[in-house]
Structure 1
Amino acid sequence: MADNKAKRGGADRALIAISEPYEVRYWSKKFKVTPAKLKYAVKKAGRSAKKVEAYIKLQKHKARDRALISTKEAYEVRYWSKKFKVTPAKLKAAVKAAGRSSKKVGAYIAASKKRARKTSAGRKKRR
């Protein structure tokens, strides 16, 4: 699909014409992205439908990867330990217990800190 409706050959179908609203709708639906994301992808990758599709898949993969914690990479352990204000050993234990999702690990660490505060407060009252 491209802007010349008289040309309907294979080369014409492999290109995305952002200036045509019906093409933006078609390709947005095909790639399951918003029209704004499609336009940005075309701006970054070019008009080729294959290149745009590859660019969109790469961006989705990167976004999914950012939310996961890898304990095999030392730089990630340092980063997440600093972010959650825990030791690397506690971070690794939290990842093992809660899974690789940064949101779940954050919630697990917050809950364990809360439990630790409660038990230490209970000990102080007994003394």
Structure 2
Amino acid sequence: MADNKKKRGGADRGLIALSEPYEVAYWSKKFKVTPAKLKAAVGKAGRSAKNVEAYFKLQKHKAADRARIAMSQPYEVSYWSKKFKVTPARLKSAVAAVGHSSKKVGEYLTGKKAAKKAKKTVKKATKKKRAKKKAA
């Protein structure tokens, strides 16, 4: 569908017309992407410039940390809970403490697990010592 050049209102400014080469060039330059990436983003997010901009921001954010734990996605909460062998509530508290990076959350959780194991080992050792003293 051709762009009506007489319409210059806000509704027209907020939409990306892929059929017009000058619009593809403008939006590609504005978002600092290739025309092919712009076309793919419009296919995924729709013609709205705001939606496409949000899509690109999300893609940049995902690229920064591919192993990011998105607590807003139930399937991710389930996946990471099973992977770290913790409850979703425990995972949520770990994410709140160290951030969304799975690497940092893993270190945080294993650090806590190691501390708990050390406490259990100390308790067992003291029980054995007490038992030996009573026997003697």
Q: If the length of structure 2 is used for normalisation, what is the TM-score?
A: 0.50
Unpaired runs of 5+ in structure 2?
1-20, 26-31, 41-55, 128-136
In structure 2, C-alpha distance between the alignment counterparts of 1:53 and 1:114, rounded to whole Å? 48
Amino acid at match of 1:78: S
Q: Percent identity?
A: 49
Unpaired runs of 5+ in structure 1?
1-9, 15-30, 32-48
> Which residue of structure 1 aligns with residue 74 of structure 2?
74
In structure 2, C-alpha distance between the alignment counterparts of 1:100 and 1:66, rounded to whole Å? 11
**1:51 pairs with one of 31, 36, 56:** 36
Asked whether the equivalents of residues 68 and 100 of structure 2 are also in contact (C-alpha less than 8 Å), the reply is yes
Distance 1:122 1:65, change over 3 A: same
In structure 2, C-alpha distance between the alignment counterparts of 1:105 and 1:54, rounded to whole Å? 36
State yes or no: 1:114 paired with 2:114. yes
Q: How many residues align?
A: 84
In structure 1, C-alpha distance between the alignment counterparts of 2:102 and 2:111, rounded to whole Å? 14
Structure 1 segment 15-30 matched on structure 2, within 5 A: none
Displacement, 1:53?
A: 6.6
SS of aligned partner of 1:66: coil
In structure 1, C-alpha distance between the alignment counterparts of 2:120 and 2:63, rounded to whole Å? 39
Structure 1 segment 6-45 matched on structure 2, within 5 A: none
Q: If the length of structure 1 is used for normalisation, what is the TM-score?
A: 0.53
Displacement, 1:86?
A: 1.0
Displacement, 1:97?
A: 0.9
